[in-house]
Amino acid sequence: MWNKLPQMVVLKSPGGSTWEVQLVRDNNNTLFFKDGWKEFAKAHNLKENDLLMFKYTRDSCFKVWVLSGRNLCEVAGSYFVKKSALEKNGAGENSQLKRKNTMVGSAMATGNKDNSELEDSDTERASARASRRKNRRNSTVLRNSGAEEKNRSTDDTLDRVPPSEADKERALQMANRNLTVESFIVVLKDSNVSQYYRLGIPAPWSRTYLTRKHQDMKLRANGKNWTVRFNAEPRYGGGVFISGWSNFAVDNLLQEFDVCLFKLVSQKDEPVIFDVSIYRAVPEAAHLPSYKTP
């Protein structure tokens, strides 16, 4: 696959902004980002020792997640970087990539099929989101490691429009206003609310307030309780919500870019208890209320 990568690729940040970056290969057959990388790094305020995760999603497109080098937690600000010139000009994959999409180390020109797959218009993105939400509506959520299955209908989510950058920023600011030393914030991404249903807890916070062991925890929101399984990660000091988190996410109609504030209520009793406040990225959707704990 790596031998077929073109000279120009697209890097997509968690918030959906895109950058066109040149991909070059040295004499040792090692790939590097060149032209355009400086702009990407500056927009995301990258620092030495930061960790970047790249997911190759299709021809010429990489999704990129930014983790802080200090604690290996995802950098929330990467969801709110400014729109790239690629998007502002309405060019992107449809223009410069088509002109420069010459294979690295090969004289073969890329076919029309490759170019067409690069098209990622607003209409297609909205359609993809609606399709994912529709699939989730018809899917089966597994409870307690597959012991119990329950179909859930989330018809309301089909009407939800994608949030604007201002909506995302507002939700994060509202959560930050209620942040205390005994609470932490998570900006939800797609993997938190679909497919794998996992939620990571920031390592510095976890090291300070939680016992480093696998355990059940209780989440409270909107007057209801959910039990989730917490898997500790001793190497980094953090942990992940696994089984049970999908029930919380589906029951509360959580969506990508919503912001959750977890407030520690009790760490002495078993299980550990969190009150969860939910700040919707699209609050005008009346059927998706924001929940704020007292």
The stretches of 178-251 forming alpha helices (DSSP H) are 190-193, 203-209, 245-251
The pLDDT assigned to 219 comes to: 97
For the segment 126-138, the average pLDDT, to the nearest whole number, is: 46
Q: What is the mean pLDDT of the chain?
A: 73
pLDDT tens for 115-126 read: 333 334 444 444
| Residue 97, pLDDT above cutoff 80 | no
How buried is 192 (Cβ within 10 angstroms: 0-12 exposed, 13-18 middle, 19+ buried)?
A: buried
Answer with the residue of higher pLDDT: 169 or 236: 169
Parent domain of 190? 142-279
The answer to the question of residue 134 being in a domain is no
Confidence band of 7 (pLDDT split at 50, 70, 90):
confident
Distance CA 141, CA 151 (A): 7
Shared domain check, 157 and 36: no
Answer whether 97's CB lies under 8 Å from 6's CB: yes
What does the DSSP assignment read for 14-78?
Answer: TTS-EEEEEEEE-TTS-EEE-TTHHHHHHHTT--TT-EEEEEEEETTEEEEEEE-TTT--B-GGG
Shared domain check, 262 and 222: yes
H/E segment holding residue 220: strand 215-221
Distance CA 96, CA 111 (A): 15
For the chain, the 3-state helix, strand and coil shares in percent, each to the nearest 5, are 30, 30, 40
Question: What's the total number of domains in the chain?
Answer: 2
Which CATH number covers residue 48? 2.40.330.10
| Residue 96, pLDDT above cutoff 90 | no
User: In whole angstroms, what separates CA 258 from the centre of its chain?
Assistant: 10
Confidence band of 268 (pLDDT split at 50, 70, 90):
low
Shared domain check, 11 and 93: yes
